Structure 1
Amino acid sequence: MLTEPRRRAYLSAMQVVHWLPRAELPFAAPSRPELLLPVAPVEDIDFEVRPAPAANQPAPAAPQARSGERPKIEIPRPGSTAKPAAKPAEAEPEAPAPRPAPVPPPRFSLQLLRAGSCLLLVELATGQPFQSRDPSYLLLKDMLRAAGLPDAPQIIGEPVRWPLLVRGNMDQGPDAARDFVQGFIQARLEEAPCNCLWLIGLPALRFAGNADAHTYYQVLKLDGLGDAWALPGLELLMDEPQRKADVWKAMRQLMARWKSVE
């Protein structure tokens, strides 16, 4: 047998709001009197049915504006919900062109020497100064004797080593190296001019004469440096002895440049 609280819980679960028992329930709360009153009958309401307009009957005219009245023009105001006209699509800006990769600094060592009226800019293949018993230095002495110049050349300053700095933001690319080498030689020429500048080795050609290997054995006219004779490096002459014949052939045509000077 259900008690009143449990009975109400069941009715609430079944979503029953009003209910009347068919018989007296034990332990039930007394019923409310208003729930026992008879239900009033619902009165019928007559609705007026209007006939549909005929097909040929004109539709009612829309109300016209009074004479003398100006039509109202809606002007959009700030904050209104009217959407602005769509702007034409703008062309997307072009992506910036990629920057060229920085050119790594060249690496070389050059030694400047003086033999009589000639200056010699010689590549140091090992990066170290000449020693009296170095094979490359002995070859250089033989070339000077064959040219009729002193075979004990005077070393001028320390070797020019590039790059100058290991770290830093200084420009040490090929153009900077060329400017430095040419400026270094020009300063030495102002101290003591020469009749011919020997450029021995590819780095000497590139950074003093702005030339390449195809100019070997030729005489170059260089602004600010005068006449320069392009020669292969000493290491290359030792590795390829057949090149010495080309050196000797060109040397015989140029010896008058420095032999005429007492």
Structure 2
Amino acid sequence: MLIESRRRAFLNAMQVVHWLPRTELPFAAPSRPELLLPLEPLVEEALPAVVAAPVTAPVGKPAERPKIEIPRPSVLAKAASKPVEAEKAAEVAVKRVVVPPPRFALQLLRAGSCLVLVELATGEPFQSRDPSYLLLKDMLRAAGLPDSPQIIGEPVRWPLLVRGNLDQGPEAARDFVQGFILARLEEAPCTCLWLVGLPAVRFAGEADEQAYYRELPVEGLGTAWALPGLELLMDEPNRKADVWQAMRRLMARWKTTQ
């Protein structure tokens, strides 16, 4: 038999807080009388029957739960790539310098066996009494060529269009000028092509002012002679001596065909 103290130790070990023996235990503490009273039966109270007409409750729109969008990896990647793409576009825009189309007017003439491409400083065709045209006649006469050159076609004016998406940059201008001269050479060849003025030297001979007074081999156009513009020769007469010295070296090229 267990004494009360050991019995409680077992019950505590089994985590039994409340317990009630079915019979009187020896050496047990006296039970409380209220715990030995029989339990009263539970009486279920009948609820009054209420007959009610069916009421249709208004069905409201269930409250929508806020949508929580979870960014997907692809979206995050695109969002992260946008600043990078914007930075690259900005760098390209900085590096890409917009070059305005060149502006010039050139007149092509034929004098004997030579073609002469001359810069029109004013953009207007030559007039018989223009000082620049009179200087050109003097140069042709000194070179032993006819001093009344034949004007070939209308002046080549660049840019071709005031508006539009047509490429009118330096490369397009060079291709146009060289194509124009090449078409004239196919009609009648020449022994030497005079390039008078920086636009003529740049867009027909693919050179700059460093090439003045020299011969230039131009692919498809043959041999060209680079000269300063007529206006520059009038403003700086000392350049005429350099023209004359270069002319004496080249004169045999076109005189043999006269």
- Work out which of the residue numbers 152, 158, 163 in structure 2 matches 1:156: 152
How far the C-alpha of 1:102 sits from its partner, in A, is 3.0
How far the C-alpha of 1:170 sits from its partner, in A, is 0.9
Separation of aligned partners in 1, 2:233 and 2:142: 15
User: In structure 1, what residue type is equivalent to 2:139?
Assistant: M
The answer for the alignment partner of 1:97 in structure 2 is: 89
The answer for the alignment partner of 2:233 in structure 1 is: 237
Q: Deviations over 1:69-108 (max 9, x none)?
A: xxxxxxxxxxxxxxx9x97x86932233333243211110
TM-score by length of 2: 0.67
The answer for the alignment partner of 2:162 in structure 1 is: 166
1:92 alignment partner, SS class = helix
How far the C-alpha of 1:123 sits from its partner, in A, is 0.1
Superposed, 1:89-168 pairs within 5 Å as 92-93=80-81, 94=84, 95=86, 96-98=88-90, 99=93, 100-168=96-164
Which structure 2 segments of 5+ residues have no match? 1-12, 16-69
User: In structure 1, what residue type is equivalent to 2:178?
Assistant: Q
Q: Deviations over 1:103-159 (max 9, x none)?
A: 211110000000000000000000000011000000000000110000000000000
1:191 aligned onto 2:187: yes
User: In structure 2, what residue type is equivalent to 1:92?
Assistant: A
Aligned residue pairs total 187
Separation of aligned partners in 2, 1:211 and 1:144: 23
Which structure 1 segments of 5+ residues have no match? 1-57, 61-83
- Work out which of the residue numbers 179, 183, 208 in structure 1 matches 2:204: 208
- Work out which of the residue numbers 248, 251, 259 in structure 1 matches 2:247: 251
Separation of aligned partners in 2, 1:123 and 1:151: 18
1:226 aligned onto 2:222: yes
Separation of aligned partners in 2, 1:102 and 1:236: 29
The answer for the alignment partner of 2:58 in structure 1 is: none
Q: Which range is displaced more, 109-118 or 162-171?
A: 162-171
How far the C-alpha of 1:168 sits from its partner, in A, is 1.2
2:105 alignment partner, SS class = strand
How far the C-alpha of 1:224 sits from its partner, in A, is 0.5
The answer for the alignment partner of 2:178 in structure 1 is: 182
Separation of aligned partners in 2, 1:245 and 1:101: 40
- Residue identity over aligned pairs, in percent, reads 77
TM-score by length of 1: 0.66
**Runs of at least 4 residues of structure 1 off by over 6 A?**
none
User: In structure 2, what residue type is equivalent to 1:104?
Assistant: P
Separation of aligned partners in 1, 2:236 and 2:225: 19
Q: Deviations over 1:162-200 (max 9, x none)?
A: 111111111111111111000000000000000000000
2:117 alignment partner, SS class = strand
How far the C-alpha of 1:238 sits from its partner, in A, is 0.2
Superposed, 1:76-95 pairs within 5 Å as 92-93=80-81, 94=84, 95=86
CA RMSD in angstroms comes to 2.8
The answer for the alignment partner of 2:27 in structure 1 is: none
